[in-house]
């Protein structure tokens, strides 16, 4: 097998000290780095001085590149002989559209490697100062997307948030801050108590990080009053009877 031309690398949640040694190694041999809006600038300082740094834009601003465009940029760069690093926030294997990119690379016959990163849920737990699992209260954790963009695509299933009301463990919502009204209502409807603790961790591991405590019955209101914004991890902690 020839050596990889593209490395799809996790940048962790923000704090550069949470980068993996592998991420640093690949960044230092990169000719070009394509990075997501979630990647903190301080992480980019670990890239080789010769590396070209290319932002892939910010979602919801009209400046974000489409997935097909991103795939093509990576493929073109690899075909021109460059060592490409595709840097993704957190862990690329979680809510990172990794399969779309690896599939395109496979079809283009480009050799790639992926490198895990610290996911923002772990970063958020570090900031909040508690474990997502607990020997008594939480033997399971669900990583859930709060982003319902695919609800408009009839080919894809719609996530029924109400079913997580009986999940026996911690719920962690990614991309869930703007949809707090939707998932919290569904969980309440599914029977989860109003006073279930909900913890919002915004900008986890960044200098601007903040933790906001609420309860399920007031989750959407808390987003408004506390002016919570993305990126934010939301942790819902069902209480054991």
Told to check if 33 binds ligand SAH by CB under 6 A, we report no
Told to check if 94 binds ligand SAH by CB under 6 A, we report yes
Q: Which is nearer to ligand SAH, 119 or 237 (CB)?
A: 119
14-19's contacts with Cβ under 8 Å and 24+ in sequence apart are: 14/40, 14/43, 14/123, 14/203, 14/204, 14/205, 14/206, 14/209, 15/40, 15/123, 15/205, 15/206, 16/40, 16/42, 16/43, 16/45, 16/46, 18/118, 18/123, 18/205, 19/43, 19/46, 19/117
Told to check if 142 binds ligand SAH by CB under 6 A, we report no
CA distance 72 to 65: 11
Which position among 204, 219, 220, 235 is part of the footprint of ligand SAH (CB under 6 A)?
204
Told to check if 35 binds ligand SAH by CB under 6 A, we report no
Told to check if 115 binds ligand SAH by CB under 6 A, we report no
With contacts defined by CB under 6 A, name the span among 22-30, 129-137, 150-158, 229-237 that binds ligand SAH. Answer: 229-237
* 225 torsion bin: left (phi>0), alpha (psi -120 to 50), beta (else): alpha
Told to check if 91 binds ligand SAH by CB under 6 A, we report yes
With contacts defined by CB under 6 A, name the span among 17-25, 46-54, 68-76, 90-98 that binds ligand SAH. Answer: 90-98
Which position among 141, 188, 206, 211 is part of the footprint of ligand SAH (CB under 6 A)?
206
Which position among 47, 232, 235, 236 is part of the footprint of ligand SAH (CB under 6 A)?
232
Q: Which residue has the tokens 């050596």?
A: 3
Residue list 8-27, contact with ligand SAH (CB under 6 A): 13-14
Torsion of CA 37, 42, 48, 52, to 10 degrees: 30
Residues of 77-103 as b/e, b for ≥16 C-beta within 10 angstroms? bbeeebbbbbbbbbbbbbbbebeebbe
Q: Which is nearer to ligand SAH, 36 or 192 (CB)?
A: 36
Q: How far is the CB of 154 from ligand SAH (least distance, A)?
A: 23
Which position among 114, 120, 196, 214 is part of the footprint of ligand SAH (CB under 6 A)?
120
Binding site for ligand SAH (CB under 6 A): 13-14, 38, 88-91, 94-96, 119-120, 123-124, 174-175, 201, 203-206, 230-233
């Amino acid at each position: 097998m020839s050596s990889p031309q593209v490395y799809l690398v996790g940048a962790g949640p923000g704090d550069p000290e949470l980068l993996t040694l592998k991420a640093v190694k690949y960044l230092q041999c990169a000719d070009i780095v394509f990075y997501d809006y979630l990647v903190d600038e301080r992480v980019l300082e670990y890239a080789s001085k010769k590396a070209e740094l290319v932002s892939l834009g910010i979602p919801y601003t009209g400046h974000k590149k489409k997935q097909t465009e991103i795939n093509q940029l990576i493929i073109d760069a690899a075909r021109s002989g460059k060592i490409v690093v595709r840097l993704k926030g957190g862990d690329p294997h979680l809510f990172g559209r990794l399969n779309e990119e690896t599939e395109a690379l496979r079809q283009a016959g480009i050799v790639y490697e992926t490198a895990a990163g610290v996911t923002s849920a772990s970063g958020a737990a570090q900031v909040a100062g508690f474990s997502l699992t607990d020997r008594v209260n939480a033997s399971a954790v669900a990583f859930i997307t709060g982003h319902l963009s695919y609800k408009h695509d009839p080919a894809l299933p719609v996530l029924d948030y109400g079913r997580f009301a009986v999940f026996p463990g911690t719920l962690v919502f990614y991309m869930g801050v703007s949809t707090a009204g939707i998932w919290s209502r569904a969980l309440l409807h599914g029977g989860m108590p109003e006073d279930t603790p909900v913890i919002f961790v915004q900008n986890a591991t960044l200098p601007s990080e903040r933790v906001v405590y609420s309860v399920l019955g007031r989750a959407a209101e808390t987003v408004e009053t506390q002016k919570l914004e993305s990126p934010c991890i939301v942790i819902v902690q069902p209480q054991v009877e």
